[in-house]
Structure 1
Amino acid sequence: MATFVNNAYGKLKKVLLCPADYYRIEPINGISRKWMEQGYEMDYELCKKQHKALIQAYEDNGVEVELIEPKEGLTYQIFARDFGICLKEGYVLGHFKEPVRQPETALYEKKLKELGVPCIARCTAGCFEGGDFCFLDENTLLMGVIDRTDPAGFDSVKAQLSDLGYEMTPIYVDRKYLHIDIIINIIAKDTVIICPDLLPDGIVQRFKRRNFKMIEITKEEVLAYAANIQGLGDGKVISANTNTKTNQRMREFGLEVIEVDISEIVKGGGGIHCMTFPLIREAE
């Protein structure tokens, strides 16, 4: 049986992205609202250029990129992470909280079927989004219950995945932080970017007991998407070129940092990790 994704750090072989053709910012998070309230006019041609550069960075580093066809009117489809999560057996189909994003679900479901990735569970109550997901290990899953994933959505998926042998732990954080992947991101087998100030102590202790090296970030860095990067495996990560402090820390930890410019895209409230849906990682 094919294994799709069973960890956060094996060599990334294949990802799904959505081009920025119809990307437009909407007032659905604090970052986008800030820019809109200032009257900032997004440069959408620059957004498309930056997204193409991200695709190129993946391909240059041996990652096969699958693209879903963007649909006019689906302004946040670019953030491909959020429709669900991918595990070793297949994917879990989530349910978007924001109405502007809900039509994306059927398109991503169709695309995953075309790619031969089976649906192993689906959110049947409440809301459940992929940006709230983090592997702790192959069978231990952390899930943010923040703004875009609610208790009903968490319980719906947990009940189904427990039958497959998974343990799911909820992480409750202030709603303004939207998704857990701006607070916690495992970027290598023993390394995590994390903001302890925003997390229950029990969650931080779980990482410490497993002897993770911890790159700690502040609340301010969380909102600057300092943790929202993508681990490639083999000691490599892709990160925003504006992420100066965290990039330096990662290099000090022995990681190779591939920098890309997403300075315009991120004004809509999402980063590299948000735009990337892993399809295949090498199992370890």
Structure 2
Amino acid sequence: MRYVENSTGVLKKVMLARPEHVHLQPINVISQKWIDEGNQVDVQACLREHQEFVDAYRENGVEVHLAPTRRDLTNQVFARDFGACIAEGYIMGKFREPIRFGESEVFENELKKLGIPCAVRCTEGVFEGGDFWFLDNKTLAIGNVARTDEAGFESLRRGLEPLGYTLMRVPCEKANLHLDMCFNIAAERVAVVCKDALPGFFLQELRRRKFELINVAQEEVFLHHCNLECLGSGRVMSFHSNAEVNAKMRALGLTVIDVELREILKMGGGPHCMTFPLIREK
């Protein structure tokens, strides 16, 4: 069985977690802003948004596996971050923020139930799944932003190179949180990027690979305008308020599925952060 070999093949199965116990935590600049303004999230609004998200996946032929939630895991809705999935199985990451440590056990138990093997484990430093991207089936871009450090990168490299993968470290300013907040592959050779947030060598690499780049401003990173999920076959999951990016993707011929996400975004993540891919076709 081959699980996930790329960023753009047809997405067949994902794991999500319902936002049943969400609560703003001061662990990123987005949630900190809402806390500073005296706000909290509306759990029922988050649940309504998430159900629309689940329904959109299912309506587009994607099987959704819902992981169990725990009351103490307030950020579990961002199922992407505990690790990553490659052709051989899953990569178990290591969270930086203690409030998220318990998510690893929950998701790992689910993957065992699903019969998906652990291919590589981060044993040193920290690594979170929002920093993981396939550039091709054997080249991986790994963000070095706020939640993945150099020790975590080296731990992944030692585990993945024997499997034939080449890793590229992509450093960005920590305020960007994860690489998927300022870089996202929306479709084959189409990426939404914040050029001001990404290093020059990485932008050059994307151009060398003939990517069409849709640029967003730095302030739009914090509105999640890069945070999308590719479904394959020219389809991409976005959200209504990402109007300008959605229009540019449609102008390139992509089918944009834009769900209603507002309340969940206050937590500091978007569609890509909420989605752990389990099976994606070549």
Per-residue CA shift, 1:145-197, capped at 9, x if unaligned? 11100111110111110010100111111111110001111111111111122
User: Helix, strand or coil for the counterpart of 1:168?
Assistant: strand
Alignment of 1:267-282 (within 5 A): 267-282=266-281
Q: What's the CA shift for 1:41?
A: 3.1
Work out whether residues 23 and 40 of structure 2, in 8 Å CA contact, stay in contact via their aligned partners in 1: no
Per-residue CA shift, 1:76-135, capped at 9, x if unaligned? 111000000100111100000000000111111111111111101111011000001111
User: Where do 5+ consecutive residues of structure 1 fail to align?
Assistant: none
Mapped pair 1:150 → 2:149: yes
| One-letter amino acid of the counterpart of residue 157, structure 2 | K
Partner of 1:253: 252
Which stretch shifts more, 132-141 or 190-199? 190-199
Partner of 1:205: 204
Distance 2:71 2:26 in 1: 18
Q: What's the CA shift for 1:198?
A: 1.4
Work out whether residues 133 and 140 of structure 2, in 8 Å CA contact, stay in contact via their aligned partners in 1: yes
Mapped pair 1:243 → 2:209: no
Work out whether residues 240 and 258 of structure 2, in 8 Å CA contact, stay in contact via their aligned partners in 1: yes
Distance 1:234 1:224 in 2: 26
Equivalenced residue count is 282
User: Where do 5+ consecutive residues of structure 2 fail to align?
Assistant: none
Mapped pair 1:231 → 2:230: yes
Q: What's the CA shift for 1:22?
A: 1.0
Partner of 1:128: 127
Alignment of 1:177-216 (within 5 A): 177-216=176-215
Q: What's the CA shift for 1:216?
A: 1.2
| One-letter amino acid of the counterpart of residue 226, structure 1 | H
| One-letter amino acid of the counterpart of residue 198, structure 2 | L
Alignment of 1:1-284 (within 5 A): 2-283=1-282
| One-letter amino acid of the counterpart of residue 70, structure 1 | T
Distance 2:31 2:181 in 1: 15
Distance 1:272 1:282 in 2: 20
Distance 1:70 1:236 in 2: 29
- Percent identity between the aligned chains? 46
Distance 1:9 1:233 in 2: 5
Q: What's the CA shift for 1:213?
A: 1.0
Q: State the TM-score, normalizing by the size of structure 2.
A: 0.99
Which stretch shifts more, 22-31 or 96-105? 22-31
Deviation beyond 4 Å, 4+ runs, structure 1: none
Q: State the TM-score, normalizing by the size of structure 1.
A: 0.98
